[in-house]
Amino acid sequence: MNTSQIEKNVIALVENFNKEEFVFDLLKAYGISKTSITRLKKGDFNLSKVEGEILYKSKMLFKEVESGTLLTVIDDLTKEPEALKHNPRFVIVTDYKTLVAKDIRTGAALDIPILEIHKHFSFFLPWAGQEKYSQKNENYADRKASYKMAKLYDILVTENPNIYDDGGHNLNIFLSRLLFCFFAEDTDIFPIEGMFTDTLAQHTKEDGSDVNTFLDRLFKVLNTKDNSKEASHFREFPYVNGGLFRDTIVSPQFTREARKIILECGDLDWSEINPDIFGSMIQAVVNPAYRSGLGMHYTSVPNIMKVIEPLFLNELYDEFEKHKENPKKLRQLIYRISKLKIFDPACGSGNFLIIAYKELRKLEIKIWRQINDLEPQYSFVFTEVKLSQFYGIELDDFAHEMAILSLWLAEHQMNKIFVDELFDFGRAKPILPLKEAGHITQGNATRLNWEDTCPKNDGDEIYILGNPPYAGQKKQDKIQKEDLKLLFKGKTNYKTLDYVSCWFYKGSNYLEGNIKMGLVSTNSICQGNQVGLLWPSVLKTGNVEIFFAVPNFKWTNNAKGNAGVTCSIIGLQRTIKNFQKLIYTDRNVIKASNINAYLTDGIDIIVQKRMTALSALPKMVSGNMALDDGHLMLTEKEKNDIVNQYPDSEVYIRETTGANEFIKGLKRYCLWIEDDELEDALEIPFIKNRVESCKKFRENGGEVARTLVDRAHQFRYRHQPVNSQIIIPLTSSERRDYIPMGFLGEKVVIQQSAQVLYDPEPFVFGVITSRMHMVWIDAVGGKLETRYSYSVGICYNTFPFPEITQKQKEQITLHVFEVLEEREKYSDKTMAQLYDPDKMPKGLKEAHHQLDLAIERCYRLKPFESDTERLEYLFKEYEKMINKDTLLEKTKKKRKKKA
């Protein structure tokens, strides 16, 4: 049952409030089945022996009380050991005016008028299997354990200088085994609680010198079926298997301090460890260098659900709802689930696999409970979901060990829940010896054959998911560049692709009818330049389609600085005719007939970057790039000071404007020296210093910078207009209806953070400031996260604009001047203020509107009614013009050949 349905149910409960039925209606609202509620009413499900109390295993303890006693009663009830044995998630008391409730697991409390319960319905969502994840409080155990382990790790590394000689593999396995032992002794995997830590404490010397031999011995014991000949303190340890203790490793040397820390680790309560995120925490603490590399990041559970739900979970739940009354179909659904394969080709420490595993087991529990309601089970039932259905590839060896381990922990925890929830017929087989493990391969997923890890047999239902690493072209290391080359060899311009593209391309080749993929990515592969480079290879001229998308959401991590990234989730499948595609936004779900590579509902179109303008428009170029580390730049104060001190310097100083200065109305200046002026200019000490600093910076800079050492008094590129110029900011806020652009005098040096039209006809300003152009930029342009990121090649050169008459140009020019005049009326205001969508002056808005209409009349006489309509029209025009253009190119080439 989904959240909105539950909310509706609770609202209905309030509207038809019935005192006698209240608590049963409430449970029903969260999807507890009718039969369970009947049995609860009859009494055989009610575990309480106290009159007037209802105790429903793992769900709740409910009591009706007299007014004024609510808080004291709930205090007593939450401490009632008899009741707590049955793990009620909530304790609820009410006098049917006020309702007080407590969440036993999180400690959260609720105290509300009972008729307002619908406003707080989310409080009881754990009944429907929906946990609220508040990272700060709930990860306490994980964080504590992680920090302790980091301490142990640090000391072991210091005391064992040769520990990395094998690349660290030995150490990784060692740590993984220790974690298993800590967890096993605190849960009932090991027969005696605390036996690992206790035995270690009793049978090793305090100076730590024999801890390693003790552990070597113990690991051997854990890998041996028959331990009857072992020393008595080892004999109680069980046979673990599962490959965890199979290979012989050499435990590192311990010191007194290291022994102390390992014992402290053991004393922590490891039973509360949450395998969802524990792996990545341990990983990050153990190796901080990896925090932002190689696809290993803190990933939060809600974000993982954003992938899992649309990819397969929603569909499985739909099936469940559809066949709720048909036990045979429900058994078939369990069979289907037992055959699924889940494959994360960049699995890190296994977060996605673990969440997917847990979700499938939760669903299985719900199905079994429903089957039992329809046909009571008289024999015991075991889970059908196996760890061997889970596949992963991970480059980092430690992460890959953690993934395997975390899956075992998740299995153990879910077994417990399975037995708890299905207490009258659900059973779990003993976890030891470990039988199944996830198929996690250590290696480079961009180079490995995925079928070697996750073989696909005929008809296999496989879901590929995950969050592969992102790296823009400048962040890629040598190996990653080589990875891209190996995959995209023969394709053009692949070097500018983000590293994450490898997974999309490789995954698209792996897809079959029953194989689907949902990956998280940086949103930039669906914007601007990269769209044209990647998506034709992935979509394979219509054989593959995007069947769901979650565009543009922030994925923050807990690393220092809290640097985030804007992501999109993209679901791919082999094209299925008339498939209902879904776009998930913050607010709603859009039913789309098609999702294009820009992740919008619309026709499949990919706009390729162009070097020349498609329409009859003048050449636009980048602004002047300094590449000076700021040494050729001056603030207003610096400029005034130097001009006061050296009046001669004024001729070498120009006003300079980038996007920031233009939009926010800031003043900035730069040194602008012609070669033949250099000698005189260097007479001024201030200028000499600046030029020398710039030279030094360029000498130490990259390849490009070093070519500019000999002309350190100048910008890397220098362009100047004769009479006037239009500035078009490169990056600007997406909140604005129009990117602020404007005319500047011929002396102003426009920075590289803006583009320029030098000496333009004024009507061009009208074209690029129009609504039509803004719609185009928004749809096909690059972005910085979600900001507009204007570019000549993608936004301007591709823009379809019809050929117009001189008269039309004059018309447009009049409207251009009106816009400029309106701006003049508010000359005290900055562009940022004028173009703030909430504060834009009415006159300016109207002038823009009239300009928009004039531009739109160039396309057609009938006015456009919406941006969607504008865009559709533009796409059609674009296709027409591109076809014409390519035809023209072809004939040109032919003629050349003939000649």
**Binding to DNA, residues 46-75 (CB under 7 A):** none
Q: Are 750 and 657 within 8 A, CB to CB?
A: yes
Q: How many CA within 13 A on the CB side of residue 790?
A: 31
Rounded to 10 degrees, the C-alpha dihedral 438/442/445/451 comes to -50
- Find where tokens 């341990």 sit: 282
Near DNA by CB under 7 A, which window of 24-32, 38-46, 381-389, 462-470?
462-470
Question: Helix (H, G, I), strand (E, B), or coil: what is residue 761?
Answer: coil
Rg (CA), the chain: 34
349-388: contacts with DNA (CB under 7 A): none
**CB 547, min distance to DNA, A:** 22
Draw the binding track, 851-880, toward DNA (x: CB under 7 A; -: no contact): ------------------------------
Q: Are 211 and 204 within 8 A, CB to CB?
A: yes
Near DNA by CB under 7 A, which window of 224-232, 240-248, 527-535, 677-685?
527-535
Strand partners of residue 16: none
Draw the binding track, 140-169, toward DNA (x: CB under 7 A; -: no contact): ------------------------------
| Amino acid sitting at position 898 | K
**CB 347, min distance to DNA, A:** 12
CA 127 to centroid of chain Cα atoms: 27
Among 446, 522, 649, 811, binds DNA (CB under 7 A): 522
- In this structure, the chain runs to a length of 899
| Pairing, β 731-732 against β 787-789 | antiparallel
Among 197, 223, 557, 770, binds DNA (CB under 7 A): 557
Q: How many CA within 13 A on the CB side of residue 344?
A: 31
736-755: contacts with DNA (CB under 7 A): 751-754
Among 642, 730, 744, 768, binds DNA (CB under 7 A): 730
Draw the binding track, 562-601, toward DNA (x: CB under 7 A; -: no contact): xxxx-x----------------------------------
Helical H segments across 268-388, by residue range = 275-286, 301-308, 314-322, 327-339, 351-374
The residue (of 23 and 767) whose beta carbon lies closer to DNA is 767
Question: Helix (H, G, I), strand (E, B), or coil: what is residue 295?
Answer: coil
Draw the binding track, 221-240, toward DNA (x: CB under 7 A; -: no contact): --------------------
748-807: contacts with DNA (CB under 7 A): 751-754, 781-785, 787, 789, 791-794
**CB 714, min distance to DNA, A:** 12
Q: Are 399 and 296 within 8 A, CB to CB?
A: yes
The residue (of 426 and 740) whose beta carbon lies closer to DNA is 740
Token digits of residue 176:
């993984």
- The reply to whether 305 sits near DNA by the rule CB under 7 A is no
The residue (of 145 and 484) whose beta carbon lies closer to DNA is 484
* H or E segment and range at residue 622: strand 621-622
| Pairing, β 462-466 against β 515-522 | parallel
Near DNA by CB under 7 A, which window of 86-94, 461-469, 574-582, 890-898?
461-469
The residue (of 377 and 615) whose beta carbon lies closer to DNA is 615
Q: Are 774 and 695 within 8 A, CB to CB?
A: no
The residue (of 86 and 719) whose beta carbon lies closer to DNA is 719
Near DNA by CB under 7 A, which window of 40-48, 125-133, 234-242, 469-477?
469-477
Among 235, 717, 826, 863, binds DNA (CB under 7 A): 717
**CB 774, min distance to DNA, A:** 14
The residue (of 337 and 757) whose beta carbon lies closer to DNA is 757
CA gap 320, 334 in Å, rounded:
10
**CB 616, min distance to DNA, A:** 18
612-631: contacts with DNA (CB under 7 A): 620-622, 625-630
The residue (of 71 and 832) whose beta carbon lies closer to DNA is 832
The residue (of 152 and 708) whose beta carbon lies closer to DNA is 708
**CB 786, min distance to DNA, A:** 7
The residue (of 256 and 664) whose beta carbon lies closer to DNA is 664
Among 310, 469, 507, 551, binds DNA (CB under 7 A): 469
334-353: contacts with DNA (CB under 7 A): none
- Find where tokens 């007479």 sit: 683
CA gap 617, 604 in Å, rounded:
26
Among 9, 529, 568, 769, binds DNA (CB under 7 A): 529
**CB 734, min distance to DNA, A:** 8
Q: Which residues of 858-868 are buried (b: 16+ CB within 10 A; e: fewer)?
A: bbeeeebeeee
Near DNA by CB under 7 A, which window of 234-242, 558-566, 641-649, 669-677?
558-566
Among 716, 777, 717, smallest CA distance to 741 is for: 777
401-440: contacts with DNA (CB under 7 A): none
- Find where tokens 């899992």 sit: 308
CB neighbourhood size of 890 (10 A): 10
The residue (of 839 and 860) whose beta carbon lies closer to DNA is 839
The residue (of 159 and 785) whose beta carbon lies closer to DNA is 785
Draw the binding track, 282-301, toward DNA (x: CB under 7 A; -: no contact): ----------x--x-x----
| Pairing, β 439-442 against β 390-394 | parallel
Among 10, 26, 175, 663, binds DNA (CB under 7 A): 663
**CB 408, min distance to DNA, A:** 25
- Give the 3-state secondary structure of 9-71: HHHHHHHCCCCCCHHHHHHHHCCCCHHHHHHHHHCCCECCCCCCEEEECCCEEEEECCCCCHH
* H or E segment and range at residue 755: strand 754-758
**CB 507, min distance to DNA, A:** 15
Q: Are 422 and 381 within 8 A, CB to CB?
A: yes
Q: Is the dihedral of CA 442, 445, 450, 454 positive or negative?
A: positive
The residue (of 155 and 768) whose beta carbon lies closer to DNA is 768
Draw the binding track, 482-521, toward DNA (x: CB under 7 A; -: no contact): -----------xxxx-x---------------------x-
The residue (of 73 and 627) whose beta carbon lies closer to DNA is 627
**CB 622, min distance to DNA, A:** 4
Near DNA by CB under 7 A, which window of 109-117, 581-589, 732-740, 763-771?
732-740
Q: Is the dihedral of CA 564, 405, 381, 58 positive or negative?
A: negative
**CB 462, min distance to DNA, A:** 22
| Pairing, β 515-522 against β 544-556 | unpaired
- Find where tokens 């299985």 sit: 364
641-660: contacts with DNA (CB under 7 A): 658-660
What are the CB-based long-range contacts (under 8 Å, 24+) for 127-134? 127/27, 127/30, 127/31, 127/32, 127/59, 127/60, 127/89, 127/90, 128/1, 128/3, 128/6, 128/30, 128/31, 129/362, 129/366, 130/3, 131/301, 132/106, 133/300, 133/301, 133/302, 134/106
**CB 773, min distance to DNA, A:** 15
Near DNA by CB under 7 A, which window of 454-462, 472-480, 808-816, 871-879?
472-480
Phi, psi of 338 (to 5 degrees): -70, -15
